[in-house]
Amino acid sequence: MLGYLRSGNKRTKAIWLIVTIAVVVTFLLGFSFFGSMGSGSSGARATGDYGSINGEKVTADMWSSAVAVAKENYRQRFNTEPADRDMRSVEQQAWRSLVNQRLMAQEARKSGLTISDNDVIVGMRTSPPNAVFLSPAFQTDGKFDPQKYQMALGDPRINWKPFEDQVREELPVRRLQERLMSSLKLSEGELREAFLDRFQSLSAVIVQVPPADTGRSAGTDADLQKVFERYRSRMAAPARTQLEVLSIPVEYSEAEIKTAMDISRGLYDRVRGGEDFAQVAMTNSEGPNANHGGVIDRWINPMELGPIGQTIAAHKPGDVIDPYREGGQVMIFKILDPARDSSAMNPPYPGAVKLAQIVTRISVSDDSRRAQYEKARKLASEARSGGLAKAATAHGLVTTKTGFFDLNNLPPSLFGAPEAADWGVAHKKGDLSPVFVGVDEFLVAQVESQHLAGAPTFEEVKEQLRQIADVEARVEMAKARADRLATAVKGGAPLEAAASAEGLTAMPVNMSRQQPDPRLVASPEIQGALWAAQPGKVVGPFRSPGGWFFGRVISVQTPPDSLWNNDQMKGQLTTDILSRRQRSFFDGFLTQLRSGAKVVDNRTAGVSE
């Protein structure tokens, strides 16, 4: 309901969308020794033992500096501080980057890469560690100032040894990266092929014979098997995991709820009494975007928000809504007024609103949280003998199953405890997790299924195949119509006339290989046939989930030699291709390193005793 408001709107998904790039880049950034920031689990904070990578201990300094880098990346991307579920995602990104960096450092040592004192001096001047970029001492107006830094390098009063040690640690990793990069090549023929994929264009007319409006498959295993064999290769996916998840909401006492409600009511009264909502939010809100007045920077349909949405829809712009509790938070919403706030002008659809919020978190006593954690841990212990679902049912609770996921596609049910995803990917079917402490929940997971990269099995996608089979049945019902059209074309009728006789319209198409027409995305067969056909030749029919397709090429436009000989264009195209290859290569390389690594994550140690 209001989960996305509490997690910084759509940012949580965006964070996980950029994890792949962060995996490749962040491990080269190094780590700043800022001292403990108090990130990670309370158990790890108490012991200073955050885990290990192949036996190498993850210290508090390593962890806190990794979090500092991830938080700074978040600030630069979203211009605000991470909160709640966003902070959990940022911490998990920091952990992944830390693991990757240490694995790369270990690999560099195995490769015998060494660094001289002169290398360190040059590195300090040209490629300083990330701590330098984050340090306020070397910033002007909140941004790194290279001139300030270069002047400071000549100051003998500054102790540069910690930074030099950091550069000495980072440089072998950079050298290893350079060595790996040098193995990636791009031939002239590959560049020419990519050039044509982007700039060569095709003009054609297509005719689509749509599926029948109604109809269903018999749904027998034989029918489903036929569909499976037809689409199996298109269902191939990377290695993926499915978890069975038990989410146990944190329980709040009446006194704890009352305290938060009283605080929220006091803030509400201040706003209604004339204080500026944005200022009150900046100084009191514990939610996302507090430093921006609590503004939720997206258009919202109030009906998405359940009961509180109905209340919001009944109010007018400028109104402030009474405190509303959901889970462990109490929220005050303000409907932004287009007359006073330009960001609320020109809604994209009727009823859309822009909101600002003030969030007050419900504080749970340490004793209560510890007791609830122990209760969850006892349930997890029971699950080791009979399974998670059975143990949950015995306590009147219900488990759910995630969809299949990998590390770059976090299931929504794990947003509150993203470390559960990493745990799941690294464990075997049937393994039971420790208790993960989320924002508003305790979470226990059991690996339901692990699938290697490739196509799924028939049983795994059987229910999805039923839906596809129904579509296929409706496509099959349209075959007679497609056959009549094909017969007319073979008899000499123009494609447009044959289509018109069937009540269909020929549609123009202009596309490149890199950007095919959206209507043809589900039919790579007709795309290939059009590119291979001579102008004027009719191709088809080709079957697809969207029906039967025919096409006739009008012309193919090849870009001029002057564009091919343009050095700037070639440089940009080469950079694009190599960047994609580098990301793919490093993703595979790091996956290989992680698969053979022994990683211990003590951040999941739970509530401290």
Q: What pLDDT band is residue 4 in, cutting at 50, 70 and 90?
A: very low
Q: Is there a single domain that holds both residue 539 and residue 466?
A: yes
348 SS3 class: coil
Q: Report percent pLDDT > 90 for the chain.
A: 57
Q: Is there a single domain that holds both residue 57 and residue 95?
A: yes
Model confidence at 275: pLDDT above 90: yes
> Within a domain: residue 162?
yes
* Cβ atoms of 376 and 351 closer than 8 Å: no
Interval 157-177: pLDDT, tens:
888 888 888 888 889 999 998
User: Which ranges in 48-160 belong to alpha helices (H)?
Assistant: 60-78, 85-110, 117-126, 130-134, 146-153
pLDDT at 118: 92
Interval 484-540: pLDDT, tens:
999 999 999 999 999 999 999 999 999 999 999 999 998 999 999 999 999 999 999
Q: At CB < 8 A and 24+ separation, what contacts does 584-592 make?
A: 585/180, 585/184, 586/23, 586/24, 586/180, 587/20, 587/23, 587/24, 589/180, 590/23, 590/24, 590/100, 590/103, 590/104
* Cβ atoms of 433 and 377 closer than 8 Å: no
Q: Is there a single domain that holds both residue 119 and residue 64?
A: yes
More confident residue, 75 or 315: 315
Model confidence at 85: pLDDT above 80: no
pLDDT at 32: 30
Q: Is there a single domain that holds both residue 43 and residue 140?
A: yes
> Within a domain: residue 584?
no
Q: Is there a single domain that holds both residue 549 and residue 598?
A: no
Q: Report percent pLDDT > 70 for the chain.
A: 91
Rg for the chain (alpha carbons), in Å? 29
Q: Is there a single domain that holds both residue 392 and residue 317?
A: no
* Residue 343: DSSP 8-state: G
More confident residue, 203 or 16: 203
More confident residue, 478 or 78: 478
pLDDT at 44: 59
Q: Is there a single domain that holds both residue 471 and residue 515?
A: yes
What are the tokens at 442?
């305790």
* Cβ atoms of 20 and 586 closer than 8 Å: no
Q: Is there a single domain that holds both residue 129 and residue 167?
A: yes
Question: pTM of the entire structure?
Answer: 0.72
Q: What pLDDT band is residue 11 in, cutting at 50, 70 and 90?
A: very low
Once rounded to an integer, what is the mean pLDDT over residues 241-251?
95
What gap in Å lies between CA 39 and CA 90, rounded to an integer? Answer: 10
Once rounded to an integer, what is the mean pLDDT over residues 321-350?
90
Q: What pLDDT band is residue 2 in, cutting at 50, 70 and 90?
A: very low
pLDDT at 78: 77
> Within a domain: residue 189?
no
* CATH number of the domain encompassing residue 95: 1.10.4030
Once rounded to an integer, what is the mean pLDDT over residues 397-423?
91
Once rounded to an integer, what is the mean pLDDT over residues 423-447?
93
Q: Is there a single domain that holds both residue 383 and residue 244?
A: yes
pLDDT at 26: 37
Domain count, the chain: 4
> Within a domain: residue 586?
no
Residue type, 166: Q
Q: Is there a single domain that holds both residue 78 and residue 163?
A: yes
* CATH number of the domain encompassing residue 407: 3.10.50.40
Which of 110-114, 117-121, 348-352, 444-448 is modeled with the greatest confidence?
A: 444-448
Model confidence at 156: pLDDT above 90: no
Interval 16-49: pLDDT, tens:
343 333 333 433 333 332 222 233 445 555 557 8
Q: Is there a single domain that holds both residue 34 and residue 165?
A: yes
> Within a domain: residue 235?
no
Q: What pLDDT band is residue 114 in, cutting at 50, 70 and 90?
A: confident
Model confidence at 334: pLDDT above 60: yes
> Within a domain: residue 572?
no
Domain boundary among the residues 363, 397, 431 is at 363
What gap in Å lies between CA 606 and CA 437, rounded to an integer? Answer: 6
Interval 134-155: pLDDT, tens:
778 888 887 888 888 888 888 8
Packing angle between helix 567-595 and helix 188-199, nearest 10 degrees?
110
> Within a domain: residue 218?
no
Q: Is there a single domain that holds both residue 42 and residue 111?
A: yes
What are the tokens at 448?
């339901």
Residue 324 belongs to domain spanning = 254-363
> Within a domain: residue 1?
no
Nearest to 547 by CA among 593, 607, 588, 499: 499
